[in-house]
Structure 1
Amino acid sequence: MTITKATLDAFIDDHLNEQDSIRVEKAVRESPELHTLLKSIVASRDIGDHSLGAIWRREHLSCPTREELSSYKDEALDTQRIDYIKFHLEIVGCNACQANLLDLNSAKDPKANPAAREKHKQFLKNSKLLLPKKQ
């Protein structure tokens, strides 16, 4: 894996899959040149890097919306959009979208996360106590 400025940008934004993140971190620790480049990228962001690419990555502009991910899961999109989202999830490996899809899947399956379900029930119960009583 060749580590470029774009790779380091993705590393900083947590857009790499776990294996690539590990490789980049190891390479940065072992290479003073990469370490210096990483520090300069972070410094340029701190002073306000407003390049088109930086904004695109930071704002997740290529990511499908949560509604699109839900439709993707239900196969309710046109073929081209399904292909793009599949590419985005599997090839690009967008961690944010993968987490979003995992959340959507677990929301449909009450057995997937019983602790979260219990917390949600407790939240609703407590919220009910805050509502004004009917007269």
Structure 2
Amino acid sequence: MHAANLINAGIVLLTVVAIESGGLFLLKVMGGRQRANDFQKSFYRAGHAHAGVLVILGLVTLLLVDGSGADGPVMWAPTLVLSAAILMPAGFFLSAIGTDPKKPNRFVVLLFVGSAALAAGMLLGGIGLIMEGVAQLS
């Protein structure tokens, strides 16, 4: 594995501690020890779930791209997916902060930016891996 990918993977594994802390916060919210309205509860749950799933997807993307031998633009796919793993949960949590909000605030834009990064990373990774596979068949 490339040195940069090893560093990225190590950093991502450390973010799991933050996701775990978010889970503890979510337990406080769901147990009534932390005040939150229904809107906030749903956004907190979504943020926590997206964080966990996207970190795993980012690591899998990193392993696939690194192991494929591909180079060029496809090498950006893991970075884009891992960026989504930060942006989307941040969008869920930050857009629900405040005292009894009824709808998301302006931080909801992070959800759309993260979604765009995720889509770009998946397209870039998928197309790049297919092209590398086809090239290896020749």
TM-score above 0.5, yes or no: no
TM-score bracket for the superposition, by shorter chain length: under 0.3
Higher helix fraction (1 or 2): 2
Q: Larger Cα Rg: Structure 1 or Structure 2?
A: 1
TM-score (norm 1): 0.28
TM-score (norm 2): 0.27
